[in-house]
Amino acid sequence: MMSNVEWRYAIDTFQSFIARLLLLMVVGSCAFLMYGTSVGGVEESSEQAATSKANQALKASSTSRASAPVNENTVEVDASTARVIYQRRGDEWEVRTQGGTVQIRTADLTAVALNLKYHSRTGVLEIGPRIKGSVTNARFEGKLLTYTIRDRHWTLEEGLVKFEPQFFKQGVVKPVYLRGGRSEGTMDEALVHHALFTSCDRPHPHWSLRASTVRILVNDKVIARHVGVFLGRRKLLTLPRLSVSIKARRRRTTMLPDIGRNDIEGWFFKYAYTYMATRHGTGVARFDWTEKRGMGFGIEQDYAWKAAMGALFIYWLRDRYRGTEFDWRIRHQQRLSRSMRLNLQWESRSNSAYFARSVKTTILSASFQRSVSGMQTMLDVRQSNYTGWGTTKDTYITLRHNYQKNRWSASLHSTYRRFQRSYGGLGTPIAPDEELQHRLEIRHTGDVITWMLAYEQRIDLDKDKYTGDRHFGLERLPELTMRFNIGRSILRWLRNLPLYASISLGKLVEYPERTARTRLSLGTALSYHRMQLSSRLSLLTSGRFEQCFYDDGTAQYIYDLRSQLEWSWGRRSRVQLGYQLQKPHGWTPFRFDRYTPYESTDLR
């Protein structure tokens, strides 16, 4: 006889299978029904009534009283109206139901069938001869569902899925229907025979798209063969093969043309055709016609082969007013080893609709990444150029390195920047702005004491040649900070209290004034802490005190307090009395140490 463990495993596997099966059907219907465009032409007629005895039993079971909600980790099997029969056939035990309906419920799914049969030796689960179910904003039904647990292969006879408009994020205003004569597949791929897509609920829809076979690859593409466009029972045209990419793209891919009007382009007609859809790449050709701008052509091609992957995008449009727009982008990623990766990218755009005439921008970037246990390193080089009213060239070189082991961590961040601008020969040429910034941080995290040593410096490489330098920042040359978790100290009466103390000492330089001082800071802080004064009365408090000393003989101390008294009155009412206070005293040479005094009380 089949054990409880085998039965639970079969049910859990069936739950994940149903979720993936619905996902495959959703993907297929979305791709064929214009992949996000509006769907119309639905007649106001009721669904086809169930005429068989099986459908009547399913309807009676589905309209029975609702049970308690099921959480996401629970699968319920209700066979209270049916008999559960354990029957031995040779070396195999067969479990089946008879004489009623079986209802399977999860957090998002409800399925009802007349019979459920499980073969323990072969691991085959059969649900039928009729099965109905629903998920959020969608309903499905089929004749017979068979699932093999070992290889996760499934078959569904005469399947039908109805998607409500709320199922889609946007663009769909009427229910969408997907029908299939026979479907089979695995968790990531499905093959539907004699598929039909429509938004008409009639047995013979007024319009539909019909294909002999439809192969659906999750998050990749939909491939249909011998696709017919039908108006009623009349076939208007036949496409031998149709591929629709369902990958995430910068521009959406539609099977039907996109027609509309906007302020920039006027009336427009845009069409995208998937000319290639394989496991190693997808290609989309685009044709655009706009009333105000003109005619454009483009290609969008991505590829993935072994350790390399990338994409190519080219778009050309002869604009009547801004000149020829030419936009092309190349992105390539190469995996050099398990721990090293190289990324290359180049973008060039000229005379875009969102820029002025005779404007060109280019971006070139390359990055190298290495990641091993506890250590990450990245080198990034990026240059952007702009040509229009003058020219600008901005160059970045960034090095990042992080290391972590047990309670120790270290990070290095160094950036070189060179920014150059000219105004097309007008006026005196401007010298480039060159800067080098780096930050080194070493940290040790303990149960009671955490300390950090930070060194942060900015080097002005152009000195005084660039006169427009207005850098705002802070240098630490260096600064040592220690933080004490008093709540975890040896004092029992302070344990579990979010109380902290800190001390920091360092030489700081603040820009653009270039104020250089040695600073010593002593502080204590109480993080937000709630005290329950009674069953309906609570007090939320936080506070901070900080004393700062500077090497020029000046000093400053600051204290702030925040508290909120809350009284719950009934189930839906509460009264809150809040008080906030902040008071600085003394003087500080640094802008980042200056605080505004305030005191406020509010009642809500």
Q: What is the reported pLDDT for 495?
A: 66
Could you report the per-residue pLDDT of 540-550, keeping only the tens digit for each?
999 999 999 99
* 29-33, 253-257, 439-443, range with the lowest pLDDT: 29-33
Per-residue pLDDT, averaged over 335-342, amounts to 93
HSE toward the beta carbon, residue 129, CA cutoff 13 A: 5
How far is the C-alpha of 120 from the C-alpha of 449, rounded, in Å?
59
Between 458 and 496, residue with greater pLDDT: 458
Whether 407 shows a pLDDT value over 70: the answer reads: yes
Strand-pairing partners, residue 183, are 156, 192
Task: For 519, list phi and psi in degrees, rounded to 5.
Answer: -125, 135
How far is the C-alpha of 297 from the C-alpha of 313, rounded, in Å?
11
Give 383-427 as a DSSP string.
EEEEEESEEEEEEEEEEEEEEEETTEEEEEEEEEEEEEEE-TT-S
Could you report the per-residue pLDDT of 518-558, keeping only the tens digit for each?
999 999 999 888 888 988 899 999 999 999 999 999 999 99
Q: What are the Cα distances from residue 240, in Å, to 27, 196, 212, 225, 369? A: 21, 16, 10, 6, 45
Q: What is the reported pLDDT for 415?
A: 96
Q: What is the reported pLDDT for 462?
A: 86
Closest CA to 511 of 437, 439, 591, 433: 591
CA dihedral 204, 159, 68, 76 (to 10 degrees): 160
Q: What is the reported pLDDT for 466?
A: 80
Length of the chain: 604
Whether 287 shows a pLDDT value over 80: the answer reads: yes
Q: What is the reported pLDDT for 346?
A: 95
Could you report the per-residue pLDDT of 572-595, keeping only the tens digit for each?
889 999 999 999 999 999 999 999
Between 313 and 279, residue with greater pLDDT: 313
Q: What is the reported pLDDT for 149?
A: 73
pTM: 0.59
Q: What is the reported pLDDT for 26?
A: 42
Whether 86 shows a pLDDT value over 90: the answer reads: no
Burial per residue of 492-519, b for 16 or more beta-carbon CB atoms within 10 angstroms, e otherwise = eeeeebebbeeebebebbbeeeebebeb
92 pLDDT band (50/70/90 cuts)?
Answer: low
Q: What is the reported pLDDT for 335?
A: 94
Per-residue pLDDT, averaged over 339-368, amounts to 85
Task: For 204, list phi and psi in degrees, rounded to 5.
Answer: -115, 95
Q: Provide the terminal-to-terminal Cα distance of the chain, rounded to the nearest Å.
A: 66
Could you report the per-residue pLDDT of 139-185, keeping only the tens digit for each?
778 888 887 877 778 788 888 877 777 665 544 567 778 888 888 88
Could you report the per-residue pLDDT of 187-223, keeping only the tens digit for each?
677 888 988 888 777 888 888 888 899 887 766 777 8
Percent of the chain with pLDDT over 90: 33
Q: What is the reported pLDDT for 453?
A: 97
Q: What are the Cα distances from residue 43, in Å, to 47, 160, 165, 204? A: 11, 18, 15, 12
**Would you say the C-alpha torsion 41, 46, 51, 55 has a positive or negative sign?**
positive
Whether 12 shows a pLDDT value over 60: the answer reads: no
Closest CA to 29 of 235, 263, 197: 197
Residues in contact with 259: Cβ distance below 8 Å, sequence separation at least 6, in sequence order: 268, 269, 270
> Do you find a cis peptide bond into 478, omega within 30 degrees of 0?
yes
29 pLDDT band (50/70/90 cuts)?
Answer: very low
Cβ-contact 157, 142 below 8 angstroms: yes
Whether 35 shows a pLDDT value over 50: the answer reads: no
Could you report the per-residue pLDDT of 53-66, keeping only the tens digit for each?
444 444 444 444 34
Whether 36 shows a pLDDT value over 50: the answer reads: no
Q: What is the reported pLDDT for 425?
A: 56
Write down the mean pLDDT value for the chain.
Answer: 79
Q: What is the reported pLDDT for 63?
A: 44
Whether 510 shows a pLDDT value over 80: the answer reads: yes
Task: For 536, list phi and psi in degrees, rounded to 5.
Answer: -120, -5
- Give Cα 373 distance to the centre of its chain: 26
242-178-269 Cα angle (round to 5): 45
Per-residue pLDDT, averaged over 68-92, amounts to 64
Q: What is the reported pLDDT for 426?
A: 58
Whether 597 shows a pLDDT value over 80: the answer reads: yes
Closest CA to 224 of 247, 207, 241: 241
Tokens of residue 577, six digits = 């009395």
- For the chain, what are the domain ranges? 4-186+201-207, 509-604
6 pLDDT band (50/70/90 cuts)?
Answer: very low
Tokens 């086809």 label which residue? Answer: 48
Q: What is the reported pLDDT for 354?
A: 56
Whether 94 shows a pLDDT value over 70: the answer reads: no
How far is the C-alpha of 45 from the C-alpha of 77, rounded, in Å?
34
Could you report the per-residue pLDDT of 211-258, keeping only the tens digit for each?
899 887 766 777 888 888 888 888 888 888 877 666 655 445 555 567
User: Which of 21-35, 417-431, 470-484, 547-561 ranks highest by mean pLDDT?
Assistant: 547-561
Percent of the chain with pLDDT over 70: 76
Secondary structure, 3-state, 432-452: CEEEEEEEEEEEEECCCEEEE
Cβ neighbours of 236 (radius 10 Å): 10
Q: What are the Cα distances from residue 593, in Å, to 238, 500, 521, 552? A: 74, 20, 11, 15
